[in-house]
Amino acid sequence: MLSNILFQQKVDEQTIKEILFDFHKYGPVSNSHLESLSYLKKYIPEDFKKYEGKLMFLMGLFYKTSTPNSFIETIYNVYAESIIEETGHNFTPVQADAYNSIKKYTNFSFSAPTSAGKSFLFQELIKESKGDIIIILPSRALLSEYLIKVKKLVSKETLVLQFIEIVNTKRTKNRIYIITPERGEEIFRNIDNLNLELILLDEAQISEEGIRGMKFDSLVRRIDKKLKNVKKIFTHPFVLNPDAQFKKHDITNNTDSETYNQKTVGKIYIEHFDNGFKYFSPFDDRIKGRGIDNNIVKEIIQNNGTALIYISKSKIYDGSFIETFAEYIELCPEISDEKGLSYISKLEEFLGTKDDREKNSVLIYLMKRGIVIHHGSIPLKARLIIEDFVNGHHAKICFSTSTLIQGINMPFDIVWINNFTFTGNEDQKTLNLKNLIGRAGRTTTENDCFDFGYVVIEKKNKKLFIERLNKESKLTTTSNLDDTTDPNNEDFIDIVDAIKNDTFNVDLQLTESQIKRISGANLDDEIVFILDKFLNKQSQPLTVKEYYRLEDDQRKKIKISFENIYKAHLRRTELSNGEKNVLSTSIPILLWQIQGKSFAEIISLRHAFLSEKDYRRALRRQLLKKEITSREFRLLLSKKKVRFSCIAEPLPNKTFKRPVSLFPRDTNIVDIDFDKIIYDTYDYIDKVLSLSLKDPLSSAFILYFQKTNDIRAQVLSNYIKYGTNNETEIWLIKYGFSFDEIEELIEYVEKIDETEIVFKKNIDEYTENFDNFKLIERYL
């Protein structure tokens, strides 16, 4: 079949009729048929066009159909109209079936391919909901996309936040919270004030992923225990047994599950080798490796197409991807589009790279040529800008890591899988591969139009690729929480026990057993020492410069005291050297946050520290005073190596035994990669301070305050928890504003509490800027 298509000039009517009949009988489930249709669309587009209208009907893509032109199309058109009549929505058959099950059952778990229209289904559910909704996503990588889409869907009377706070009550009719599992405990602190209608657990295959899976599973069990009658939806891509979510958590209340295999986008598969590209089929390879005369990736980019190149994070960090893909990067001239440049300007302002020659950012340099980098350590606000840039059609190439696997809806004409390393067991690797392939091919809304994309793999990975693509994936029916042999489980035993015994303290966000250990750990000396040294007489925290002016033994004692306070809530008595180094590195970053430094300022200060800015300035002064020659200046600079800084790592993690340096030990101070500092600093703020340290440390100081009434302990608890002790700033944080936004906005706030924000009369000065207006329009 495929070999014929490559050589023939018109469609074989018998072949196309067989495919159409198969779709009528079974639905669009055959990958091989979709592949054949993709070749027909590519090589015989004019002849193929007369079949596309009927094809859209038979594939159930009713939003892409026009007037029916045959009896069978009329029958399918009646089916489409009956779906609209029954559901009130222009759904595909898959969307309609899932919608009806969601309405009928309390707990529904389903699996569907990446392009099955899950996003549209969720949008319609959100729009018609009257109560509160919680959307739980596998990682922060997905948050930005969801926040943008949901805010556009709902009225200003709907509160949309990425954490759970009960605020703006005077002006809010319902709430939508978009969170990761790590934020899940906030649900139960606010449970009595919520009118929950729906909990959506998207990309629920995260339950298979080690520590993150345990956090997800612990949240699912608490939700089932506390919110048994609230409607819950679990979604997955490409798994055979979505009901595993119910089995592993013993969820029995009004359940149903479904696996949907219907697909909407075709794929053409290509292998890459040293001398070029050639076609192959993973299903029925009769093409026999037919070569492609031209460079198909170049051709797509030059014809205004888009390419996702999936690479390892290490290649992004060491910059080697630039050389590997230089010929494609060179195809992308500097962009001149005003809207595209405005996104770049926003990103430069946020990162503090504008007009600063010392801060050379590859991220910014490439973006100016319509090339973006996307991975989980790019700050959330930066990712928002990058994703807007891509969805605004300003990007030609995206170099990405596994963040795109996690469900971010940025489709491309071609997906090139350069990195074939996937984490997890074989089922997880298969699942991740299929999820990534799903990004190939943009699903358009054009009537009577079949969509397809290209998937490129390296020749050496072809055999394994075919095996995985043709293999079915299953979820395990036993949770990692119940695996007593897991070496990481020791740090999560408390959570498991608390779920079973309902012993979570919702105010402190810790289990009662953890709180008991902190209270019984005799931490008074450590806490008093920190309060004496970390805060001044006005209960203001030290500046970082003041911190580094402390005697070495005092700084060391502060680090040890914080370490002792943190580990008190754990079952083990010692941290690994790696964990200790992470704690130590986080303290200056915590201080910068406490002082209200913007993200740009924090990375600038960290860059100055790691690159020995004071040393470089002193050398330059010596050069200007002619105390040293130019040659001596260059020699002294070349000998100075970068300071050690441990990479960020979520805590606790007993497997992180030895500290890993952010930069190789022999890195010269003038050769520091500024982007690495951006990524690592964000990981410290997000994964270490916010998700790992905040709750146990702030709780220890609150418990001390309750025992002694030492107000300094409450002050420091607020600084650790919120980054400030200013009441207005704390309320603005609860409303979802970042520190960067608060810095400008705070002077316009007349009054703020849980009921509303009241702005001063001169708020028009602030909202003259359109971005500022969009930021606060829901509260005006």
Query: Quick check: 583 and 559 in contact, CB under 8 A?
Result: yes
Task: Find all residues with CB under 8 Å of 640, minimum gap 6, and list them.
Answer: 612, 615, 668, 669
Specify the pLDDT at position 1.
Answer: 53
Specify the pLDDT at position 485.
Answer: 64
Low-confidence stretches of the chain (pLDDT beneath 70): 1-11, 141, 285-289, 404-410, 484-489
Separation CA 37–CA 52 (nearest Å)? 10
* Cβ atoms within 10 Å, residue 573: 9
Separation CA 123–CA 211 (nearest Å)? 30
Where in 205-264 does DSSP place strands (E)?
231-236, 255-259
Burial class from Cβ neighbours inside 10 Å (0-12, 13-18, 19+) for residue 164 reads: buried
Tokens matching residue 18: 């067989």
Where in 502-579 does DSSP place strands (E)?
504-505, 510-511
Q: For 372, phi and psi rounded to 5 degrees?
A: -115, 155
Specify the pLDDT at position 306.
Answer: 92
Specify the pLDDT at position 410.
Answer: 66
| DSSP labels, 552-567 | HHHHHHHHHHHHHHHH
Three-state SS for 648? coil
Specify the pLDDT at position 594.
Answer: 83
**338 Rama class: left (phi>0) / alpha (psi -120 to 50) / beta:** alpha
Three-state SS for 31? helix
Separation CA 416–CA 414 (nearest Å)? 6
Specify the pLDDT at position 4.
Answer: 57
Separation CA 581–CA 659 (nearest Å)? 6
Specify the pLDDT at position 591.
Answer: 85
Specify the pLDDT at position 409.
Answer: 66
Strand order in the sheet with 132-136: 158-161, 174-179, 132-136, 196-201, 231-236, 107-111, 255-259
Separation CA 49–CA 58 (nearest Å)? 15
Domain residue ranges of the chain, discontinuous segments joined by +: 116-259, 489-722, 727-779
Separation CA 68–CA 74 (nearest Å)? 5
Query: Quick check: 606 and 529 in contact, CB under 8 A?
Result: no
- The tens digit of pLDDT for each residue in 583-633 reads 999 988 988 888 878 899 999 999 999 999 889 899 999 999 999 999 999
Question: 0.85 exceeded by the pTM?
Answer: yes
Separation CA 142–CA 180 (nearest Å)? 9
Q: How big is the CA angle at 491 (ends 570 and 649), to the nearest 5 degrees?
A: 95
Specify the pLDDT at position 697.
Answer: 95
Specify the pLDDT at position 408.
Answer: 59
Site of tokens 């190939």:
440
Separation CA 408–CA 542 (nearest Å)? 40
Q: What is the CATH number of domain 116-259?
A: 3.40.50.300
* Cβ atoms within 10 Å, residue 397: 25
